[in-house]
Amino acid sequence: MSLTDLTLFEATKAVVKGEVTSLDLVESTLNRIDAVDPKLNAFIRVEADTARSEAAEIDQARAAGKNLGPLAGVPLAHKDMYYRAGGLTTCGSKIRKDFRPTVTSTALARLKTDGAVYLGGLNMAEFAFGPTGHNEHFGACRNPWDPSRITGGSSSGSGSATAARMTFGALGSDTGGSIRLPAGLCGIVGMKPTQTRVSRFGVMGLSFSLDNVGPLTRTVLDNALMLASIAGYDPEDPTSATVPVDDYVGAAQSPSCNGIRIGVARGYFEKDADAAALTARDEALAAFKSAGAIIVETDAGNLDDVKAINALSALTMGPEAATLHAHWLRTCRDDYGAQMRARCEPGFQYSGVDYLSALQLRPKVVEDFIQRVFSDCDFLLAPTFNVETPTIEETDVLDHQGFEAVIARISQCTRPFNYLTLPGLALPTPSLVAGMPGSIQLVGPPFSEARIYQAAAAYEVEAGYTERSPDL
């Protein structure tokens, strides 16, 4: 077995015990990247010298008998929108191809404090605005289960690289599904935490009311380890929550679904769904039931309600994204890819009244949803996506006819939960769907991440997806 087959948790324990060095892990991942990334295009930039230098520091600390952090010596790569002072951060764009920020994101700083090693920047949709994994500047990222198919986006490289064992985990961002979609389509675990749970300081923004920072990993425990490192209040980000951080790792190590009520999201979440995707969803429900959960029906998928939520989400995202990009769209519009322009420019058409109304209505809409849905269940289960994984070619629509329909169909099931602020964990289904991963998302009330991890860890044992990997 290669060292890259270890889980993040196994790898860091091996470093702490002296069974392997951090440099061993780095060299193994660099060799894996050399062998596999030409097929997948998951990396924008590999920083081998940085990784080796940081690994050497970890190994020296261990030799000196110093305490190592919970991520000690494990190489991680991240969506190329997390700032590192003095380091390149392209944001998947031509406009920022040479951008070197003067600050380091709190998320990266916390990972480094806990002993993680930085491998490089991962491919992504341009400025994180796309759910498929296409990028006109750096090329499409490819799915390790079938390189002709999409990875999902916008955290495309995070999903592909983690699933392909080129990194032990990765940070992504999620504004409408951009962690959960690539996690789901690449067959791994991805957490969109509660809005404001993780600091966004030093992270490229898209829609500051909807953006979230979170991890993509191969197992639930690995995911809990990464979220535990980055979660919590940050004075550099006054919007970050002061709510205490629960013991995510302890929860993931104490798997239990006994008596947990899992509500099925139907209606909107089943609309126009491929039959195979719903079959995979039903297998996941059966696995939760086998683990001790109680399956109940909910009205969370009321079509009119979710359509209204999506409309409010669009009224929020559109103007905020347009505001962030207004200067560049005026001064260097041709440096944007066609898909990015087609998605961003309509944001200028919304009125200030509509935008502020969407923000003002949000607390009431969220409160109503929570009271209505979570009075009947502890968690909500919905597909992460309800289509069979499309190819890169058939979704390469740029700004041509059918573009919006493609975007809407792929992100149909993830998009509502960003406006609702709720945490959602994407998990692989027990069986593949036509040879590709299927995925469900487990959604809970605000700040229920620890309870989600506990239930998801029990499901993971029943589902058995950690035993499979893409054959590259």
Mean pLDDT of 176-188: 98
Position 110 pLDDT exceeds 70: yes
Q: What is the pLDDT of residue 399?
A: 53
Beta strands in 193-307, from DSSP E residues, in sequence order:
213-217, 261-264, 294-297
DSSP annotation of 82: B
For the entire predicted model, the pTM comes to: 0.97
Mean pLDDT, the chain, integer: 96
**Known active-site residue 13:** no
Mean pLDDT of 292-296: 98
**Known active-site residue 178:** yes
Q: Is residue 472 part of a domain?
A: no
DSSP annotation of 336: S
Question: Residue 438 corresponds to which tokens in the numbers above?
Answer: 């299927």
Q: Rounded to whole angstroms, how far apart are CA atoms 244 and 403?
A: 42
Q: How many domains does the chain have?
A: 1
Q: Is residue 149 part of a domain?
A: yes
Q: Is residue 10 part of a domain?
A: yes
Position 398 pLDDT exceeds 70: no
Domain holding 411, by residue range, is: 3-467
Helical H runs in 374-448?
403-410, 416-419
**Known active-site residue 469:** no
Selecting among 178, 209, 229, 411, the annotated active-site residue is 178
To the nearest whole percent, how much of the chain has pLDDT over 70?
Answer: 99
128 neighbors 91 (Cβ within 8 angstroms): yes
What burial letters (b/e) apply to 68-86, b meaning 16+ CB within 10 Å? Answer: bbbbbbbbbbbbbbbbbee
Q: Is residue 82 part of a domain?
A: yes
Selecting among 22, 28, 79, 112, the annotated active-site residue is 79
> What does the pLDDT look like over 325-341, one tens digit per residue?
999 999 999 999 998 99
Q: What is the pLDDT of residue 404?
A: 75
Q: Is residue 328 part of a domain?
A: yes
> What does the pLDDT look like over 220-249, one tens digit per residue?
999 999 999 999 999 999 999 999 999 999
Q: Is residue 451 part of a domain?
A: yes
pLDDT-derived band at 406 (thresholds 50, 70, 90) equals: confident
Q: What is the DSSP string of 295-334?
A: EEE-STT-HHHHHHHHHHHHHHHHHHHHHHHHHHHHH-GG
Q: Is residue 199 part of a domain?
A: yes
Position 400 pLDDT exceeds 80: no
Position 134 pLDDT exceeds 80: yes
Mean pLDDT of 362-389: 97
pLDDT-derived band at 401 (thresholds 50, 70, 90) equals: low
Position 467 pLDDT exceeds 90: yes
Selecting among 154, 155, 240, 411, the annotated active-site residue is 154
CATH, residue 211: 3.90.1300.10
